[in-house]
Amino acid sequence: MFNNIKELSKKVGEVVDNISRPVSTTKIAITGLSRSGKTIFITSLIDQLLLQKKITSITSRKQPFNVTIKSPTTLIKRFDYYSLKKIIKEYHQWPDGTDDITSTILEFETKSRYSFLSNSKFRIELIDYPGEWILDIAMMDLSYEQWSEKTINWMKNIDEEIVKEYLSRIHELSDNSKGKEIENKIHQQYSDMLAFLKNNHYSNLTPGRFLMPSDLAHDPILCFAPINPSSSSLHQVFKERYEYYLENIVKKIQLEHFRGFDRQVVLIDIIEALQNGYSCYADMVDGLRSMMSLYDHRKKFFLAQWFSSAIKKVIFVATKADLITVSQHNNYQALLNEMVDNIRKKLDVDHIVTDTRIISSVKCTETVLREHEGKTLSCIQGISAKENKKVVLYPGEMPHSFPSPQEWDVKAYNYEMFLPANISYNDNIPFDHINMDKVIDSLIGELL
């Protein structure tokens, strides 16, 4: 049966090994608001690992390893790496946005130290989790009255017609305002307003499910909105739905996904904040802070039970670094550090390790030098998404610190979107990237 003693001992080793060491899974949540780059990040991460060339040389253990994709065991939808990769590598386009939780499992096999022991195996599960839904978890702290009051006060500071219309509409509500029709209308008006604000680069919008309903689109569970307590009948109906929503959707479904996560990556589109001015930036920071309230053990005692044994590492990642020149990368890193500084300090108190990185998951541009009026400028070259042709642009100087509201000149930060480079990838070449290897090392380096 076994040709030699070596083969026999290997087989025995395998059996012993498998009994004593079941394959462990490290769960990693990839979070961030929509368009922050989650889908592209996960696609690139899988691609780098499957086709790794250099990763082994930078990770701590420097052991060769094999990676295979496994089907998710949970009920979550599968992250469709192969289709996404094809859209980017073959069609040189960006895939459409997604609004669902998806998951993928990668199994790693690393060479064992002794030939008679089988190779060691472990798994990581990557979960694409909409940041909008994490904002809803922060709502669990608030009663319907508190949430309404907070949201209405926040809206009063927004100088947009659609927001003013909503506020005046709810101001007109009376005790006689009741019935399905008015419930639907108010809910719809609030949802439309959130969608408008989202398109205008506001981030801290709740409930996030109104923006990314997924399987709850048109579900009556979502038929509520913030109103003043005076219109009692409508108020009561909305309050009941709000409480039902928090209990049955946010707590039982959205929060449940977070149970057992070991690590979290928070993707941030800082370039969007810079381009859209101080209020967009301030709102993004508020949104981030609100998302990170997940970890606030002291304020939310029962949440602590869910998380304290789980997440131990959070990496904040600023995406799309290829939209600026290499010479600006240090400033970009400084902006990221500034943005998350207070959040990191808070996480540190809770013994959660943090890290920050600027990356490009799929690098679309090259930095090139151009002469302009006697000066040499650092420019970027790539395929403009607007013009669908190759362009060379001067993206301007990135500040090393966020400007004050008075000094914030949005015209100075005129970044363009680029399409994936028109290169033919052969089968073994991973996406061109910036710092994906460093993120991988920081995220899972010690497991390898």
Ligand X SMILES: Nc1nc2c(ncn2[C@@H]2O[C@H](COP(=O)(O)OP(=O)(O)O)[C@@H](O)[C@H]2O)c(=O)[nH]1
* Residues at the site binding ligand X, with contacts judged by CB under 6 A: 32, 34-40, 94, 97-98, 319-320, 322-323, 360-362, 364, 417-418
Token digits of residue 371: 């002469």
Contact of residue 410 among Mg ion, ligand X, none (CB under 5-8 Å per partner type) = none
CB 36 within 8 A of CB 97: no
Between 97 and 405, name the residue whose CB sits nearer to Mg ion: 97
For the bound state, the minimum distance from the C-beta of residue 151 to Mg ion, rounded and expressed in Å, comes to 26
| Residue range at the interface with Mg ion (CB under 5 A); choices 96-104, 169-177, 187-195, 428-436 | 96-104
55 exposure class (CB count in 10 Å sphere: 0-12, 13-18, 19+): buried
* 177 contact, one of ligand X, Mg ion, none, CB 5-8 Å limit per kind: none
* Contacts for 277 with CB less than 8 Å, ≥ 6 apart: 408, 410
- Whose CB is nearest to Mg ion? 39
Q: How far is the CB of 238 from ligand X (least distance, A)?
A: 29
Q: Any idea what the Cα angle at residue 417 is, between residues 342 and 441, rounded to 5°?
A: 50
For the bound state, the minimum distance from the C-beta of residue 382 to ligand X, rounded and expressed in Å, comes to 8
Contact partner at residue 32 from Mg ion, ligand X, none, CB < 5 to 8 Å by partner kind? ligand X
Residue 198 and residue 206 in contact, taking contact as beta carbons nearer than 8 Å = no
Least distance to Mg ion, CB of residue 38, Å: 5
CB closer to ligand X, 47 vs 322: 322
**Residue 322 touches which of Mg ion, ligand X, none (Cβ within 5-8 Å per kind):** ligand X
- Cα(438)–Cα(65) distance, integer angstroms: 17
Give me the 26-55 binding string for Mg ion, x by CB under 5 A, dash otherwise.
------------xx----------------
Q: Provide CB contacts within 8 A for 299, sequence distance 6+.
A: 141, 293
Beta bridge partners, 95, equal: none
Q: State the minimum distance, in angstroms, from the CB of residue 47 to Mg ion.
A: 16
Q: How far is the CB of 97 from Mg ion (least distance, A)?
A: 6
Nearer to Mg ion, 36 or 328 (CB): 36
How far is it, in rounded angstroms, from Cα 2 to Cα 17?
19
Residue from 98, 103, 118, 275 binding Mg ion (CB under 5 A): 98
Given the complex with Mg ion, which of 41 and 408 has the nearer CB atom? Answer: 41
Q: How near is the Cβ of 169 to ligand X at its closest, in Å? A: 31
Say if strands 120-130 and 24-32 run parallel, antiparallel, or are unpaired.
parallel
C-alpha neighbours within 13 Å on the C-beta side of residue 316:
28
What does 103 bind: ligand X, Mg ion, none (CB cut-off 5 to 8 Å by kind)?
none
Q: Tell me the closest approach of the beta carbon of residue 318 to ligand X, in angstroms.
A: 11
CB nearer to ligand X: pick between 55 and 170: 55
Task: With beta carbons less than 8 A apart as the criterion, state whether 434 and 359 touch.
Answer: yes
319 binds, among ligand X, Mg ion, none (CB under 5 to 8 A by kind): ligand X
Euclidean distance between CA atoms 297 and 305, whole angstroms: 8
ω before 64 within 30° of 0 (cis)? no
- Dist. CA 39–CA 34, nearest whole Å: 10
Determine contact, residues 237/201, Cβ cutoff 8 Å. no
Query: Residue for token digits 């013994």?
Result: 351
Nearer to ligand X, 97 or 405 (CB): 97
Applying CB under 5 A, which residues contact Mg ion? 38-39, 98
